[in-house]
Amino acid sequence: MEKAKIYGHRKMIVWQNLDKIEKIVQTVVMKRLPKTDFQLRNQIDRSCGSSVANFIEGYYSGSIKEYTRFLGYSRRSLAELQDWIRRSFYKSYIPEELYLQLDDFCIKTIYLINRLVYSLKAKLTIKK
């Protein structure tokens, strides 16, 4: 089967990382969390989804200023997810290896978002 063409926001390494994080969260983490810990499950699901959605919304916003604003939202949601994952580990819901893998992936993705914001802001100053 031929691989589908990658277009738009899906070409971005940041989005690819966010997509991988979401896949790990939905297929691994959510299955390990007890259904009785509704708040934790809800917060992980919401922060993960928000980080991806804000990245996409900013990408298609039509202006660099708006894009950087939404990247900030995406970065904050990803940092929130990182903390909820830490709490899941402390509650012994997920193993240390999974926690460290996700934590590292979040750190690297936040770094990429920071670099993207820096690059976009540099474009704004050049335009002035």
Q: What is the CATH number of the domain that holds 75?
A: 1.20.1440.60
Q: pLDDT tens string for the chain (128 positions)?
A: 456 778 899 999 999 999 999 999 999 999 999 999 999 999 999 999 999 999 999 999 999 999 999 999 999 999 999 999 999 999 999 999 999 999 999 999 999 999 999 999 998 888 66
Torsion angle of C-alpha atoms 77, 82, 88, 89, degrees rounded to 10: 180
Domain containing 107: what range? 39-127
How many whole angstroms separate alpha carbon 10 and alpha carbon 6? 6
| In a domain? residue 13 | no
Per the structure, the count of domains in the chain is 1
Q: Global pTM?
A: 0.91
| In a domain? residue 64 | yes
